[in-house]
Structure 1
Amino acid sequence: MATTTVPALPTASPADPTNAARLNWLRAGLLGANDGIVSVAAVVVGVAGAGAPVGPVLAAGGAALVGGAVSMALGEYVSVSGARDAQRTGQAARTARRATDAVGPSDIAAAYRSIGVSDDVARSIAAELGRPEVRENWIAAEERAAQDEVVSPWRAAWVSAATFTVGGLLPFLATVFVPESVRVAVIVVAVLLALAATGTTGAVLGGAPRGRAAMRVVIGGAAALAATWLAGTLLGAHAL
């Protein structure tokens, strides 16, 4: 005998997926900003550590800023395009399955009784779900919610490029306007403060502990800057 599963009722109003999508875009934006801050700062600090004058440092920072933004956009576009295709394939399969679904009221009632719902309530649920207008509205609500979850690869691309650029401008502008004698120190401090801010913001959006989230990002950024500074210093001492 085939096992009947309990029908999945819509769990969110049409506005809820939209809010979730906006939250996901905010998180993606924070990740792009973090990447821009760390990537450009690491290049600038590494080249400065090699003893290069301000011209090559600015050239390297500008190249990292532009190249990183383009790379982020392309990566997001390809990734999100694949995810969107998978989502649409899944939606088509669910629609086809619903079109051939022949589960009757008695099967629905039995499924609800199997999870502890009383017989009277189970039969009432089955009767309501069996009404054509209820079933059509139910399926339409599910399809609207699923459609809201399909993301745009173009939107993902420009959001990633824009947030990467905004984040990368911080160390780049510090390279332009800060005196050479304190340039690296100012960049490091500014980058760590910016990472602490983005880490805290991400924790607030995700409901995670703020201090722990900020500390993870700051430690990772500090490690990246230290590694590139060391690499630049060693290359500058032995290769330049």
Structure 2
Amino acid sequence: MNVFRRHREHHRTERSGWLRASVLGANDGIVSTASLLVGVAAAGADKHSVLVAGVAGLVAGAMSMAAGEYVSVHSQADTEKADLSRERAELEADPVAERRELTAIYVARGVEPELAARVARQLMARDALGAHARDELGITDALGARPVQAGLASAASFALGAALPLTVTVVMPAHGLIPAIASSSLAFLALLGAVAARVGGADALAGAGRVSVWGALAMAITAGAGALFGAAV
């Protein structure tokens, strides 16, 4: 019987790319759309105008999030590709020096020099570029940049987040719009923060508190700006 049974362990770091994009998108969707709705309502606009502004904010925000996240993560992917290309060239030019470099990395991590040299030799014999990408550059399949995935996750999560305060706007009467949007959005934000923290292995209460405080501040400032603009007009 083989005592070294292969198994697949799932770690939270494997979710970091899409989780970060999804949480950021949903959080922005709720905060920006709720703040926009509250600000427009505070300026004295009727319910139809508030809804039009909210829908426009949802579409514009989702597209902006998708484009921004795609460009950002694509830049990271370009950097990773450039580093891998340079490492590939160095391996072809001087594999012995690269093996010494990998050995030194393992020694610095606490492996005995003789064992480190043996490990470096065996790993490079199997996949030299993969070994250097992982242990020298810190590039792995789980944490590698995925621009399209990040962009789509951001757009979808932003739209989902923005739909929540918009739905409240549709179902609530005009005279109670501002408190309904603000209270429900803060509840949504707290839930999102708690869930995201739990998925990432952090404290749920702290996660809920962070996003709720910043969400409340954003809505308060936007409401004040809307009220001032409405009074001036």
Return the TM-score normalized by structure 1: 0.79
- Given that 2:21 and 2:69 are in contact with CA atoms closer than 8 Å, whether structure 1 keeps it comes out as no
Aligned length: 222
User: Contact (CA 8 Å) 2:35, 2:222: kept in 1 or not?
Assistant: yes
Q: How does 1:14-33 map to 2 (within 5 A)?
A: 20-33=13-26
Q: Does 1:232 align with 2:223?
A: no
Distance change in 2, residues 1:182/1:102 (3 Å): same
In structure 2, C-alpha distance between the alignment counterparts of 1:14 and 1:138, rounded to whole Å: 21
- Change in Cα spacing, 1:79 to 1:15, as seen in structure 2 (3 Å) is farther
Question: Which of these residues, 43, 50, 57, is aligned with residue 50 of structure 1?
Answer: 43
Deviation at 1:42, TM superposition (A): 0.6
Deviations 1:200-228 (A, max 9, x none): 12222333332222111101000111111
Query: Which residue of structure 1 lines up, in the alignment, with residue 3 of structure 2?
Result: none
* SS of residue matched to 1:224: helix
- Unaligned 5+ residue runs, structure 1? 1-12
Deviation per residue, 1:12-31 (Å, 9 max, x gap): x9967996343321232011
Judge conservation of contact 1:14–1:141 (CA < 8 Å) in 2: no
Match for residue 91 of structure 1?
A: 84
How far apart in 1 are the matches of 2:161 and 2:216? 16
Unaligned runs of 5+ in 2: 1-5
Q: Is the 8 A contact 1:18 1:148 kept in 2?
A: no
Distance change in 2, residues 1:80/1:165 (3 Å): same
Q: Is the 8 A contact 1:29 1:160 kept in 2?
A: yes
TM-score using structure 2 length = 0.81
Identity of aligned residues (%): 37
**How big is the alpha-carbon RMSD for the aligned residues of Structure 1 and Structure 2?**
3.2
- 2:150 and 2:170 map into 1 onto residues whose CA distance is 30
Pair 32,103 (structure 1): closer, same or farther in 2 beyond 3 Å: same
Q: Deviations over 1:43-77 (max 9, x none)?
A: 10000001111111011001100000011111111
